[in-house]
Amino acid sequence: MAVLEVKHLTKDYGSKRGVFDISFEVNKGEVYGFLGPNGAGKSTTIRHLMGFSKPDKGECRIFNRECFNHYYENLRSVGYIPGEIALPQGLNGYEFLEMMQKMEKKFNRNLLDKYISYFELDEASLKMNTKHMSLGIKRKLAIITAFSSNPDVLILDEPTSGLDPLMQEKFIKLIKNEKANGKTILLSSHIFSEVDATCDRIGIIKDGKIVSQFVADDLRHADNKNYRIHFASKNSYEKFKKDISDISFITSTKFHDHTNVAFIACVDKNINDLVNLLSDYAIESFSTSHETLQDYFMSFYKEDEDFKGAL
């Protein structure tokens, strides 16, 4: 059953900024990874799901309630972590957490204390005024606020930004536990390890459009493998480049002319054909690996010169 639904969502801010005809859904008990670099449209989509913005076209629904017109109703069942954390000044950590739980009318001291302990927030940090807090402390407070009301749905926008690696690992364990408890989770992130470790399905967004949606296990257990071939001579390397143009079982290629290295991909059932093909060339080394989530993601950005360092 679909709990979150995004149907043909369009919000055009001009200059090719926004989201354009986006559609996806997240089913009950599922973790859906929304993967893309900064500026791709992840946060815009989430703002519409949260009911903060009205679409130009299309709609968003949570539990079949249209999000913009049912903002307050949806908030009662949703835990939300924004991408940019802005806490009200004049409060300390304790006061902020208690204020948020009372606003949601789901105050649970035991659950609150559980998450405070889990994310290792000490008394000094919790008594600190919010304006003096580090990003890491603010991020922990946002996570605790989202989870401590025990919501049915979690919408998480870059939830571990600013956390150290240990806390990121603890967060991944928490997501897995919440999934086991039947929670429905939308995880928007640009951190491959986080998405790969937790998500059942993944959508990749580029320039405001979803360019791929797939079951995560299909990629994790794919038959397609990548091969790195280092040729012993320039002649063998150039001959291989020319010869494989007519080889149907090689599904992708990439060449590094200055090192005489070729990267190719083919499915496991054709490995003998590949070995037979390579026997005609002088090869210095040969290695293989499965395609990773990062490999697959980067295939959509390989021609973008401005993408370097965006993740």
Domain co-membership, 228 together with 179? no
One domain for residues 51 and 103: yes
172 and 43 assigned to the same domain: yes
| pLDDT digit string, tens, across residues 282-305 | 999 998 877 789 988 988 876 554
pLDDT in tens, 78-101: 999 999 998 998 999 999 998 888
Task: Assess whether pLDDT exceeds 80 at residue 107.
Answer: no
Are 64 and 118 members of one domain? Answer: yes
Residues 204 and 231 occupy one common structural domain: no
96/195 same-domain check: yes
Listed in sequence order, the DSSP H helices in 149-281 are 165-180, 192-198, 216-220, 234-243, 271-278
38 with 158, same domain?
yes
Other Cβ atoms closer than 10 A to 63: 18
Close Cβ partners of 47 (under 8 Å, ≥ 6 residues apart): 53
- The CATH number of the domain holding residue 229 is 3.30.70.920
Statement to judge: residues 136 and 264 lie in one domain = no
pLDDT of residue 304: 57
- Please name the amino acid found at residue 48: H
pLDDT, position 32: 98
Average pLDDT, the chain: 91
Per-residue pLDDT at 310 exceeds 60 = no
Q: Identify the pLDDT of residue 51.
A: 97
CA-CA distance, 153 to 186, in Å (whole number)? Answer: 8
SS3 call for 239: helix
Q: What is the pLDDT of residues 224-237, one digit of tens each?
A: 788 899 999 999 99
Question: Is residue 151 assigned to a domain?
Answer: yes
Q: CA-to-CA distance for 301 and 298, rounded, in angstroms?
A: 5
Of the residues 176, 194, 215, which one is the last residue of a structural domain?
215
CB 211 within 8 A of CB 300: yes
Answer yes or no: are the C-beta atoms of 135 and 61 closer than 8 Å.
no
Q: Indicate whether 109 pLDDT > 50.
A: yes
Residues 182 and 81 in one domain: yes
pLDDT interval class at 311 (50, 70, 90): very low
Residue 307's pLDDT band, with cuts at 50, 70 and 90, is very low
Q: What is the pLDDT of residue 68?
A: 96
271 and 126, same structural domain?
A: no
Q: For residues 115-123, give the mean pLDDT.
A: 96
277 and 194, same domain (yes or no): no
Burial annotation 277-306 (CB, 10 A radius, 16+ → b, else e): bbeebebeeeeeeebebeebbeebbeeeee
Q: Three-state SS across 85-137?
A: CCCCCCCEHHHHHHHHHHHCCCCCHHHHHHHHHHCCCCHHHHCCEHHHCCHHH
Pairing verdict, β 153-157 and 78-81: parallel
The verdict on residue 302 lying in a domain is no
Residue 306 has pLDDT above 60, yes or no: no
- Under a CB-based contact definition with an 8 Å cutoff, are residues 125 and 170 in contact? no
Domain span at 118: 2-215
* Domain-ending residue, one of 215, 247, 279: 215
- Among residues 14, 16, 4, the alpha carbon closest in space to that of 59 is found at 4
Tokens of 275: 């070995």
- Residue 298 in any domain: the answer is no
Structure tokens at 30: 């599922």
Name residues whose C-beta falls within 8 Å of residue 209's C-beta, 6 or more positions apart in sequence.
Answer: 19, 20, 21, 22, 41
Is 170 within the bounds of a domain? yes
| Domain presence at residue 234 | yes
Helices (H), 154-210: 165-180, 192-198
Residue 115 lies in a domain: yes
Count of structural domains within the chain: 2
- Tokens representing 184 are 């429905």
- CATH code of the domain in which 110 resides: 3.40.50.300
**Please, which pLDDT band fits residue 160 given cuts at 50, 70 and 90?**
very high
pLDDT > 70? residue 242: yes
Q: Are residues 278 and 155 in the same domain?
A: no
Q: Which of 215, 233, 254 is the last residue of a domain?
A: 215
Whether 61 contacts 5, CB under 8 Å = yes
CA dihedral 33, 181, 101, 124 (to 10 degrees): -80
Q: Hunting for tokens 């040729």 — which residue is that? A: 231
Residue 299 lies in a domain: no
